[in-house]
Amino acid sequence: MYPLLDTINLPFQLRELEQKKLPQFAKELRGFLIDSVAKTGGHLSSNLGTVELTIALHYVFNTPHDQLVWDVGHQTYAHKILTGRRNGMNKLRMQDGLAGFPRRDESEYDAFGTAHSSTSISAALGMAVAAQLNRTDRRAIAIIGDGAMSAGMAFEALNNAGVMDANLLVILNDNDMSISRPVGALNNYLAKLMSGRFYATARRAGEKVLGVVPTMLELAKRAEEHVKGMVSPSTLFEEFGFNYIGPIDGHDLDVLVTTLRNIKQLDGPQFLHVVTRKGAGYKVAEEDPILYHGVGKFDPKKGIVAKANGKPTYTQIFGDWLCDMAAQDSRLIGVTPAMREGSGLVRFSQEYPERYFDVGIAEQHAVTFAAGAACDGLKPVVAIYSTFLQRAYDQLIHDVAIQNLPVIFAIDRAGLVGADGPTHAGSFDLTYLRCIPNLTVMAPADENECRQMLYTAFKLDTPTAVRYPRGTGAGVQVQKDMQALPIGRGEIRRQGEKIALLAFGSMLTPCLAAGDELNATVVNMRFIKPLDDDLVASLAASHGLLVTVEENTVMGGAGSAVIESLSSQQIQVRLLQLGLPDIFIEHGDHAQMLADCGLDSGGIIKSVRAVLPE
């Protein structure tokens, strides 16, 4: 089925292939990718768009001696297949299987671990400087998308690299689409660059790379078709100190190979602009690259078939609340760092476009932008993943909390996130949030409580955070009416004896099941900050063992808050903390991951019985 692909398992074998056979090899690799992801799920559009670029890089450069750093890394499936991991693709993103992103401990060909945006140029520059100091001929190549190029960190790295003479190659993979459609001045600039009619002159290095400059008539035709051989004069990237080359067609292997071979002979910082199509070679993915960005299992012949709606996800609960709240209060604005679809803002962006702000892949800017809006009477709601809020921690403290501004943080993907693994897990937010003065922190136990907590947060005039997990909850009916919860007050959901399970957020459901088996009192704590000190004291007085349960790291988390509460009240009682261990938890099935951490009902029962007297 794949006669060429079956003969090549490592890049050195690829480099032995005749160049004229590369297009056929690309066709087979693309077919294998579609069939493979259809069986396992994963990222598809981005990987289909980089098939030819991946082949050309491994064909021209001496990997792994030469180092490839893939920005974000969700486009590296072809890279994994070409670097000895084809047989492992059947367990992609599964427990004990391949990661969905580059991992240094997975392969020597993964030069740098990535999964968050806009880190590649910094890392590759560090590698280029190391090669220079070590006096080796190793090349460092960063491959970054146009969406990731909008982030401040990428420009910090460009600014630094441009004043060095290190041999760094930055490849801009320009497909005009990140996860959400890219926004901002840079994206507009690139669009103009692509659609304009370029001059027939080029700088000497550009001529050396691309060869004879085409005639003006041919150049105009190529500019209109967005294909190979286009040359531009001085650009933004040359102002940073790079030698700019391109744009070229990222699906034309002859052009890619020739251009990369010529660049390989040049010294100093080089910038290659490559134009690709997400979903290339698979019609349905080309037509809807957002739908095919991250997919579950599907039939590759039929494509993704829409399923009937089941239980609403927490993300949908948030999106519906945002629209309902916006209808009630014109001060509300929605802010997202390039995660409109993932954070549930599609409907809001359509119904309230003038109050919807996608600031691009710029988490720091998103938080401070919201703080500025709050200064002048608006009520910003920042929709952000737990793992991405980590990138704006200083802004959260310095720009929001110190000034006590009414910014609401709707924190999605709290806790473990299954197949996306440790880079995307929201394992730390309770720990890093609860230590910040002025900040109220809530964790809903079910869908309806999520809606009511978001309303509660909006009604406060101080910084607030509502953290909720990925996927669906317990299936509790969501009430249309909204009522503010009493601040810092938990509720007893089951009355028992001797043992009290203090559940935070999503852990209420397994705690209720465990409570039935243990005849334990089960408490929905609701608030991590302020903690319900009175309830903690009452439980300690009437129970011999308190057990805190959270889907957050145990270190510094909600359980630690309970210990601090007991200490400040000078109360002594036996206490057991259950939560995520002090390790990075690998990708896999979410339910199995919780079970492995002892956070399902069976695990809770086992842990409690282990500390009870005989």
Q: List active site positions.
A: 278, 363, 391
Neighbour count for residue 78 (Cβ, 10 Å): 24
Beta pairing, strands 332-336 & 379-385: parallel
**Contact status, residue 479 vs residue 448, Cβ threshold 8 Å:** yes
**Contact status, residue 300 vs residue 38, Cβ threshold 8 Å:** yes
DSSP string, 232-266: -SS-HHHHTT-EEEEEEETT-HHHHHHHHHHHTT-
Neighbour count for residue 199 (Cβ, 10 Å): 12
> What separation, in Å, do the N-terminal and C-terminal C-alpha atoms of the chain show?
63
Q: Let me know if 463 is exposed, middle or buried by CB neighbors in 10 A (0-12, 13-18, 19+).
A: buried
Buried b (16+ CB within 10 A) or exposed e, 55-75: bbbbbbbebbebbbbbbbbbb
**Contact status, residue 375 vs residue 409, Cβ threshold 8 Å:** no
User: From residue 314, how far is each of 215, 444, 475, 506 by CA, in Å?
Assistant: 57, 10, 10, 11
Interatomic CA distance for residues 148 and 163, integer angstroms: 22
Residue the block writes with tokens 């140029």: 121
User: From residue 563, how far is each of 409, 501, 524 by CA, in Å?
Assistant: 26, 14, 17
464, 455, 482: which is closest to 529 by C-alpha? 464
Structure tokens at 355: 């109050």
Interatomic CA distance for residues 306 and 66, integer angstroms: 43
**Contact status, residue 284 vs residue 303, Cβ threshold 8 Å:** yes
**Contact status, residue 86 vs residue 36, Cβ threshold 8 Å:** no
What is the Cβ-side half-sphere exposure of residue 595, based on CA atoms within 13 angstroms?
7
Task: Enter the DSSP assignment of 574.
Answer: E
**Contact status, residue 418 vs residue 590, Cβ threshold 8 Å:** yes
Helix (H, G, I), strand (E, B) or coil at 589: coil
Residue the block writes with tokens 């698979």: 282
What are the residue ranges of helices labelled H in 484-557? Answer: 508-518, 533-542
Structure tokens at 395: 């802004």
CB within 8 Å of 613: residues ≥ 6 apart: none
What are the residue ranges of helices labelled H in 413-529? Answer: 429-434, 447-459, 508-518
Interatomic CA distance for residues 373 and 400, integer angstroms: 11
